[in-house]
């Protein structure tokens, strides 16, 4: 059995995401290592609040996927995928 925690990315940095991040902090076998949100300031606030590397903030899903090799999962925390995908450059491949 591997002791290496699973690495995940949080998609979205809105009002509900502190609850997602608090829940992930309680799971020692997994951690959120990157955040993507079209609103850079909002994403930067989340990384500050939860001690995530500030260099791992992205404003597009495609940039996150290109930069973050080896992710094990994504936590999608946006309220409307079809609407929000427009903010992520029209990408619907998540």
Judge whether 58 and 36 are in contact, CB under 8 Å: yes
Instruction: Write down the pTM of the prediction.
Output: 0.82
Check residues 80 and 42 and name the one with the higher pLDDT.
42
- Over residues 6-48, the pLDDT tens digits come to 999 999 999 999 999 999 999 999 999 999 999 999 999 999 9
CATH of 6-77 among 2.120.10.30, 3.40.50.720, 3.30.230.70, 3.20.20.70: 3.40.50.720
Q: Where are the domains of the chain?
A: 6-77
Partner residues linked to 8 by β-bridges: 32, 73
Q: What's the full length of the chain, in residues?
A: 94
Whose structure tokens read 């949080």? 10
Percent residues over pLDDT 70 in the chain: 82
């Amino acid at each position: 059995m591997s002791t290496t925690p699973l690495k995940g990315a949080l998609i979205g940095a809105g009002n509900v995401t502190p609850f997602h991040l608090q829940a992930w902090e309680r799971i020692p076998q997994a951690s959120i290592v990157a955040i993507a949100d079209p609103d850079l300031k909002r994403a930067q606030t989340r990384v500050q609040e939860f001690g995530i590397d500030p260099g791992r903030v992205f404003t597009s899903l495609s940039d996150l996927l290109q930069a973050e090799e080896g992710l094990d999962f994504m936590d999608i925390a946006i309220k409307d995928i079809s609407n929000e995908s427009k903010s992520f450059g029209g990408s619907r491949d998540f």
